[in-house]
Amino acid sequence: MDVETAFLNGKVLSEVYVKQPVGYDDGTDNVYKLNKALYSLRESPRACSGTRPDISFSVNYLSRFQNSYYEMHFKYVLRFLKYVYSTRELKLKYCKSNNADILDCFVDADWAGDIVDRKSTTGFFIRFFGNSISWKSKKQNSVTKSSTFAEYIALSEAVTEVNFKLFKQGNIEVVKIESENNIAVYLQKH
């Protein structure tokens, strides 16, 4: 499971109070007690109660601004929280599938998607017999010169994760890895 994005809706183990965020002022100096964990809390990894692949990218992206945000980011967080609230009943369902590949992976990257530092974002998910078992959305560590290189880095990260899953699962010989960029796939194979 992707621990990096599993911090929403977890139980808070200690009492945590927060100030009113910038852009939200009800005219008082009230502080608010958190009833659910937020991804920026130190205890968030312990409070994790499950994961949602549909919010992986949003959590990753918004967490980049948790120490330095503007009103625009706050509006995005509110929109995101409305989505999470309205889809709180969504959950992963695991079903037996005899016609699915044993282990497959779908990989993608946006090239220079961050307008500030021009870094790309890696995204992938891994399925075991058609059931999602791992996913990730993460800003890449370096700036790439082309979409092929961004996809190649994404493939490299996905292959590393697949190898880890193979190690945990035992004797799986064939893994299907799909990417939109044929040149990056060719480079990965050779």
Using the structure block, give the residue that is written with the tokens 């509006």: 75
pLDDT score of 99 more than 50: yes
Domain locations along the chain = 3-86, 103-189
pLDDT band at 1 (very low <50, low <70, confident <90, very high): very low
The DSSP bridge pattern shows strands 103-110 and 131-139 to be unpaired
| Whole-model pTM over 0.75 | no
Does the pLDDT value for residue 33 go beyond 70?
A: yes
- Quick check: 134 pLDDT over 80? yes
Q: Average pLDDT in the 146-155 region?
A: 93
Q: List the structure tokens of 171.
A: 């004797």
pLDDT at 45: 39
The closest alpha carbon to 150, from 119, 117, 182, 126, belongs to: 119
Choose the most confident range, by mean pLDDT, from 12-16, 126-130, 154-158.
154-158
Residue 43 clears pLDDT 60, i.e. is over it: no
Q: What is the largest CA-CA distance in the chain?
A: 63
β-strand partners of 176:
104
Q: Return the CATH number of 103-189, one of 3.40.50.1000, 3.40.630.30, 3.30.420.10, 1.20.810.10.
A: 3.30.420.10
DSSP class of residue 10?
A: P
Output the six-digit token pair for 102: 């044993």
| Residue at token pair 């991804």 | 39
pLDDT in tens, 52-73: 888 888 888 888 888 888 999 9
